[in-house]
């Protein structure tokens, strides 16, 4: 019984004493269906990009430790990532009209952008600071293409 109680204390102590630490974990969920590719989102990576922020969502975990080795996380790190990726772009704190994608289709990699007036309106940010970004995107087209995701991540040190 003492062991069970001790384990509970160890597990709950960070949540009870320091709720901000418990909330600091990266989280991403939802699904994407775009350009003939459909996937479930499992990871998020946020990094400074040009005059704003890039929020990359993928079907596979980003190797963030490897990406940080040169002291910054940037577009090149995202491009080397092998999973399916959709990137929400922020410019001066607000969503842009474009979402970038990079998909593996068979033996080749396809990348591009979807730029439409409804893209920016589909993004809702609940937090947007120099340290952290959180929110959701719910964008759908009549054709069935959609991005329905939520995310919460620290902003990595980086550059374009």
Per residue in 114-158, pLDDT (tens digit) is: 999 899 999 999 999 999 999 999 999 999 999 999 999 999 987
pLDDT in the model for residue 8: 38
Whether the pLDDT of residue 17 is over 70: the answer is: no
CA Rg value for the chain: 17
pLDDT in the model for residue 159: 58
Whether the pLDDT of residue 6 is over 80: the answer is: no
pTM of the predicted model as reported, rounded to 2 decimal places? 0.82
Q: Taking residues 102-119, report their average pLDDT.
A: 91
- Length of the chain equals 160
Whether the pLDDT of residue 160 is over 90: the answer is: no
Could you report the per-residue pLDDT of 61-100, keeping only the tens digit for each? 999 999 999 999 988 898 889 889 999 999 988 889 999 9
* C-alpha–C-alpha distance, residues 26 and 29, integer Å: 10
Question: What count of other Cβ atoms lies within 10 Å of the Cβ of residue 154?
Answer: 17
* C-alpha–C-alpha distance, residues 20 and 16, integer Å: 10
pLDDT in the model for residue 43: 97
Locate all alpha helices (DSSP H) within the chain, ordered by sequence.
2-17, 19-22, 64-67, 75-80, 117-121
Cα 71 versus chain centre, distance: 20
pLDDT in the model for residue 1: 52
Q: Is 160 helix (H, G, I), strand (E, B) or coil?
A: coil
């Amino acid at each position: 019984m003492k062991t069970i109680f001790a384990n509970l204390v160890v597990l709950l102590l960070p949540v009870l004493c320091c709720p901000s630490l418990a909330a600091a974990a990266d989280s991403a969920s939802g699904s994407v269906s775009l350009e003939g590719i459909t996937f479930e989102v499992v990871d998020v990576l946020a990094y400074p990009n040009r005059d704003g922020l890039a929020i990359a969502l993928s079907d596979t975990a980003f190797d963030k430790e490897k990406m940080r080795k040169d002291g910054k996380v940037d577009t090149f790190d995202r491009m080397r990532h092998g999973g399916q990726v959709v990137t929400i772009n922020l410019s001066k704190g607000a969503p842009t009209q474009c979402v970038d994608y990079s998909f593996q289709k068979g033996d080749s990699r396809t990348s591009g952008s979807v730029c439409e007036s409804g893209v920016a309106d589909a993004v809702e940010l609940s937090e947007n600071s120099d340290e952290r970004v959180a929110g959701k995107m719910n964008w759908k087209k009549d054709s069935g293409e959609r991005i329905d995701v939520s995310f919460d991540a620290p902003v990595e040190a980086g550059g374009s």
